[in-house]
Amino acid sequence: MSARLEFIVLNTGAATTFRRPGCEETTPDITLASEGIAGTIKEWKVLEDYTGSDHQYISFIIDSKNDGLRKKMQCSTRKWNVSKLNSEALSEIDAHGSEESSYNNAMEIVETTMKMISRACTKAMPTTGSNRHKTPAYWWTENIAQLRRTCFHLRRTYTRARRRSAAVEEAQLYQAARKELKRAIEASKDRKWKELCEDINRNPWGLGYKVAMKKLGAMAKPPELSAQKIDYIVSELFPTHEALTQEMEPIIAPQEIPPFTAEELKSATNKGQEKVHEPKLNVAVLGLCSNP
């Protein structure tokens, strides 16, 4: 964890820091320092004085004379976008460059090496942008920016005044400024949205297209296609076919069904009754045959 957070462990020697009678002595207490200040800490040691606790005191000295060197050796805040690394450009960079091969001390070696690494990273990949250079939203205006600054100022004033008293007046001013900022943002969004919808009809690839594609996660503009290429794509995706002529089926005129007679109804009724009584007759015959 300390390596991931870029901390250096300052513990030296084999002296333990936790001592309890009847238990094994261990060293759970460690001293961590950043790379910039680790070089100024000297004479780290565990004191053997009585502390009244199971933990021993730790002592070290911070050399204030090396403050200038510490500032010089602090890591730069510059960051690079590793996802856009150009491997070919990185391989073409001369590792030695124009630097001399002889150095007076270790600090010059470290400083020269860091300069070469920084120069190589700058040539091989772009730096990450900060929020200060971020493109504002399409509805952002200078009036909203001013209201936002005023709202932040009143919030800080209210927070400081609340530590001393109830700060009722400061709270009212902050709430009023916050509501005004919220109303200005909502009004600007409604107005800009209408303008954006009207602009889409005039320029399909303008700001409206960029806003929509940004929400979808794709900012790439479609490739420029000629009219001939577009016609070819449309013809392949939507092919045309010959019109099919279907012959009309002849309409059959409805025929009149003659009504049934009383004899036909009586005959159909008798047939139904015979079918119903047949299973009962067969069961009776089978029962007689089975008796001894």
Predicted confidence (pLDDT) per residue in 6-39, tens digit = 788 888 888 888 888 888 888 888 888 887 787 7
State the average pLDDT over residues 153-174: 86
State the average pLDDT over residues 41-69: 80
Closest CA to 206 of 217, 215, 196: 196
| Angle at alpha carbon of residue 117, lines to 103 and 66, rounded to 5° | 55
Question: 153: how many CB neighbours lie within 10 A of its CB?
Answer: 13
Burial group, residue 150, by CB count within 10 angstroms (0-12, 13-18, 19+): middle
Min mean pLDDT across 69-78, 91-100, 116-125, 221-230 is at 69-78
Helices (H), 132-261: 142-162, 168-202, 207-216, 227-237
Above 90 in pLDDT, residue 183?
A: yes
Above 70 in pLDDT, residue 217?
A: no
The rounded distance, in Å, linking the Cα atoms of 70 and 40 is 7
Which tokens in the block code for residue 122? Answer: 């700058």
Above 80 in pLDDT, residue 158?
A: yes
pLDDT at 177: 93
Residue 3's SS3 state is: coil
Q: Which residues of 277-289 are buried (b: 16+ CB within 10 A; e: fewer)?
A: eeeeeeeeeeeee
Above 80 in pLDDT, residue 105?
A: no
Please provide the average confidence, as pLDDT, over all residues in the chain: 77
